[in-house]
Amino acid sequence: MSTPHTLDAAAIQALVAEVVRRIQAGQAAAPRSAAPPVPAAATATPAAAAGAAITERVITLAMIERVPAGVQAVSAVATAVITPSAADRARERGITIVRGGPATPAVASRPFVIAQAACRSDASARTSAIARAIPGAQQLPTSGLADVVAALAGHASRDAALGVLLTSRPAVALVLANRSASLRAVTGRDAAAIASAAADAAANLLIIDPAAFSGGALDRLCIDFHRRPSAPVPTELQAAPAGCGCKTHTH
């Protein structure tokens, strides 16, 4: 007898949100003809090898929408859960979702946003290089540090976007970013330290002083950050921040 897969809190939350969305849209009450499930297999097929991959535990409609045109097969982890709207859209596009498929370039599950602010010299060439290295990445207009951080927070809140901010004031930017509930920002003096901090905090924003990195190293760091699988947010960062408990001033 097979053992049921255990879903983590993020997977359960995604499924609940999907059911609520469908009920609110009135789709649950609409008459629908029976349709076969999205084809799935225990092992990969030749078509899947030429397709793309989704590495998340829950496959959503947004992920299916980002599958490039012409791809007919997407490999997924063996325990992946497919939301109803994702299954419907995959069927409409003729996409077969193959569980346990081979390791292929992953379909970007989240947008990538590139920004610069408060740089000692113009970092436009660096942001453009990152944009070329990550297809579909979006560059924000150059503005003040607070404004750019606010824009990044908006993208993270609306689209679950990942991002990188190039600035000559990384400490100030880090404090500003981590005031936002939608951002988990990290910084560091070298690629290894930044990558380690990003993994530990399940970060969605890298804050980097461009003067500390060569072009190739910076591009590689951003590519690896964008491709890394989603990870659960550490328990310590999920709780709402508590007040300091003092009575000497208001909060």
* Average pLDDT, 10 consecutive residues per value, the chain (251 residues): 56 71 59 47 40 80 82 85 89 89 54 96 95 91 96 90 96 96 95 94 96 91 88 78 51 44
Residue environment code for 10-39, b if the CB has 16+ CB neighbours within 10 A, otherwise e: ebeebbeebeeebeeeeeeeeeeeeeeebe
Q: Report the pLDDT value the prediction gives residue 47, as an integer from 0 to 100.
A: 39
Enumerate the CATH 3.40.1400.10 domain ranges in the chain, comma separated: 112-234
What does DSSP say about strands 96-99 and 162-166: parallel, antiparallel, or unpaired?
Answer: unpaired
Query: For 112-234, which CATH class?
Result: alpha beta
**Residue 201 CB burial class (10 angstroms; 0-12, 13-18, ≥19):** middle
